[in-house]
Structure 1
Amino acid sequence: MSTTDLPPWKSSLISLAVSSGILTFGSYTLKSHRVSPYFVNCGLFSRAKLIRAISEAYAQSLNSYAQEHSGWDFDVLFGPAYKGIPLCATTVEKLAGLDESKWGDVGYSFNRKEVKDHGEGGLMVGESLKGKRVCIIDDVMTAGTAIREAISIIESQGGKLVGIIVAVDRQEKMPSQSEKDGKGDDGSPRGSTIGEVRRETGVPVMAVLTLDDLIVGMRQLRREDEVKQMEAYREQYKPSD
């Protein structure tokens, strides 16, 4: 990849993530027992300039996809509790700023972890999903469990899933049962979690940043040691899809 492959907003986001300690490098044992040379802590997009940056990036990604795929659209951006809550609210505001005529009436909605039995009551907060085209926004997708739970909520509320967007696609194959048991990778070819969810749902699954993007961004920052480590990790766990 050349350093011209990233739009300026992606380069800026990666640089900000590094300087803010959101994207860090070292040796991180993941839930799958894989040892990753990098880690993205999306929970740290918690200051004004940081939530602004990530929500603008989500909005740019969604708007670009809609421009490139005529007819694709959505009525409500759904953020699963808890991390999805600030993301859905701030991203719809940034979408309206990009194109008021197209996105000005897009709503946001999120679920409660516990159903409220007083006041307005219920499971949901924000726009109704009934009869609406819904796009899910979340930070990361590992095994896809949280996304599948979100899809179940949308269906139970009468909404129609039309898309999913996450902050980071690690572009690695799904963990094997052997890895989950702590016994290491069995070496079998497997697709990615995002690829599997895309096949299951039949809807676009987008990512603001991919591992490929991170590698290009770090090369722009002249962090060649980190680039080599990420490239080796990518090669070791590349998916079959």
Structure 2
Amino acid sequence: ILLDVKRGDIGSTALAYAHACYDIHADGVTLSPLMGYDSVEPFITGKYSQKGAFLLCKTSNPGSKDLQSLELKDGQFLFERIAALATEWSRRAAETDTDTPRLGLVVGATDPIALTKVRAAAGDSIWILAPGVGAQGGDLAAACDAGFNSLGHKMLIPVSRGISRATDMTAKALELRDGINDARKLVLERRKQLQPVGEQPDLEKYQEDFISFSLKMGVLKFGSFVLKSGRTSPYFFNAGLFSTGASLRLLGKCYASSIMASKELVDAETGKPKFDVLFGPAYKGIPLGAVVCYALNEEFGIDIEFAYNRKEAKDHGEGGVLVGASMGQKRVLVLDDVITAGTAIRESHTLLKSIDAIPIGVSIALDRAEKRSLEDPLSAVQAVSRDLNIPVISIVSLPLLQIYLSSSKAYGDDVLKCVSEYRAQYGVSS
């Protein structure tokens, strides 16, 4: 029996509330966490140490965003901090680490994005109580996809009005039960597809080199990072930190190697590139184009032309926005570091088409291989490839980072677990 009483007080008053709830044989309660641990402690310690409580975290009512979605200094939302506190307070109550936390979280099924963030912040062992399916219009499948842990568990989905107001309450309850089970199966099947299993492909040497020197330069980091999208990522990639001659030389070599290994960009019979010009969009693409152009010649003996654009047209000298090789009627490969939304690549494609160039593909350093949103099954890379009808190749991808970590002695299992869970949550099928 779970009492949805939303209590929140301190001292003797909180203890009195606990007595009142548990004296009628309740197994757990819902609590407000805003007054801190001492308002929660009486419900989960002492003679009530076998009881449980759910902290209000990101509730399903429209006004929940007024406080629960406030952004903190570290970039997290308040509800994410509450999610982390559930684990912290559970351990504090038990005075040791525990696999069965005494605290869970209330997160509305009406907000799959918040559910995703909360699951990432709280971890796999925390139970989430997710009201909002039924009368409030929550999407059952989306909520399950966002809130289930990596094993497809740890969610309670209460439905009251959706059942009590149905013409046939039994049939409605069975329908919801089957819907939850079907959603669980889909989630587990998708996540299983995203896990490296069996014989894993070996990383190419240039891929291992790229990951290794990216880590050494601090370009690639593992940890906890809040992205612009609001997601909390276990890794971060900043190509701007390739800032030495040696790192740029290696960067160019890795790009060139990935390009020459691509069946889409290199003719299988002749071994020659299917492009005539490298194009580096301003600004990041300019140095990339230069080092890759050099590396193709230095490492593979291939002399390719290079061009780039300015952000603003020059009104003197040669004028215009394009610099370098002419591209009209030539096959052009576009270079970038990552594709986040695809805006820069689409703008480059439009520019190249306007001068009668022939865009044939895109080469990037890292493919994040993650969904643009919970409602969209495609990644930004997949969307660009589909919309522009061109291949997008990368030196490495999120699945390859996962493979690297699985054989690396430099990082513990906890890092691999975080990356694997992130990929299971956000990753796309190849």
For the criterion TM > 0.5, the same-fold answer is yes
Report how far residue 60 of structure 1 moved.
0.3
d(CA) in 1 for partners of 2:350, 2:334: 12
For residue 386 of structure 2, what is the aligned residue in structure 1?
199
8 Å CA contact 1:3, 1:220 repeated in 2: no
- Rounded Cα–Cα distance in structure 1 between residues aligned with 2:266 and 2:310: 32
290, 297, 300: which one aligns with 1:89: 290
Aligned to 1:233: 422
Q: Is 1:24 aligned to residue 213 of structure 2?
A: no
Question: In terms of mean alpha carbon deviation, does 71-80 or 143-152 score higher?
Answer: 71-80
- Aligned residue in 2 for 1:172: 370
Q: How many residues align structurally?
A: 227
State which structure, 1 or 2, has the greater radius of gyration over its C-alpha atoms. Answer: 2
Using the TM superposition, give the Cα deviation of residue 30 of structure 1 relative to its aligned residue in structure 2, in angstroms: 1.4
In structure 2, C-alpha distance between the alignment counterparts of 1:23 and 1:8, rounded to whole Å:
18
Distance of aligned partners of 1:67 and 1:116 in 2 relative to their CA distance in 1, 3 Å threshold? closer
1:122–1:189 distance in 2 versus 1, CA, 3 Å: closer
The correspondence of residues 122-133 of structure 1 with structure 2, limited to 5 A, is: 122-133=320-331
Matches within 5 A, 1:65-214: 65=262, 66-67=265-266, 69=268, 73-100=274-301, 103-104=302-303, 106-175=304-373, 187-214=374-401
Shift of 1:218: 2.5
Per-residue CA deviation, residues 119-156 of structure 1 (Å, 9 max, x unaligned), is 11111111111111001000010111111111111112
Check 1:53–1:3 CA distance in 2 against 1; reply closer, same or farther (3 A cut): farther
> Which sections of structure 2, spanning at least 5 residues, go unmatched?
1-195
Query: What residue ranges of structure 1 are gaps of 5+ in the alignment?
Result: 176-186
Residue 7, structure 1, aligned to residue 218, structure 2: no
Instruction: Provide the residue aligned with 1:179 in structure 2.
Output: none
Quote the offset at 1:219 in angstroms: 2.9
Give yes or no for the alignment of 1:215 onto 2:412: no
Letter in 2 for 1:89: A
Q: If the length of structure 2 is used for normalisation, what is the TM-score? A: 0.50
Q: Cα gap change, 1:240/1:209 in structure 2, threshold over 3 Å: closer, same or farther? A: closer
What is the alpha-carbon distance in structure 2 between the residues aligned to residue 67 and residue 78 of structure 1? 17
Rounded Cα–Cα distance in structure 2 between residues aligned with 1:127 and 1:68: 23
Check conservation: 1:15, 1:217, Cα contact below 8 A. Answer: no
Q: Give the 3-state SS of the residue equivalent to 1:92 in structure 2.
A: helix
Contact 2:251 2:291 in 1 (8 A): no
When residues 144 and 69 of structure 1 are mapped into structure 2, their CA distance, relative to the original with a 3 A threshold, is farther
Could you say which residue in structure 1 is the equivalent of 2:248? 51
Q: 1:98: how far off? A: 3.0
Asked if 1 retains the 8 angstrom alpha-carbon contact of 2:253 and 2:299, the reply is: no
CA contact (8 A) 1:173 1:238 kept: yes
Q: In the alignment, residue 29 of structure 1 is paired with which amino acid? A: V
**One-letter code aligned to 1:132:** K
Per-residue deviation at 1:221? 2.5
Paired residue secondary structure (2:286)? helix
* Deviation (angstroms), 1:70: 5.3
Give 1:205 shift: 0.6
Contact 1:172 1:237 in 2 (8 A): yes
User: Mean Cα displacement is larger for which, 192-201 or 212-221?
Assistant: 212-221
Counterpart Cα distance in 2 of 1:188 and 1:173: 8
Partner of 1:182: none
State the structure with bigger RCO (CA 8 A, min sep 6), 1 or 2: 1
**SS at structure 1 position matched to 2:385:** helix
Q: Distance in 2 between matches of 1:117 and 1:53?
A: 36
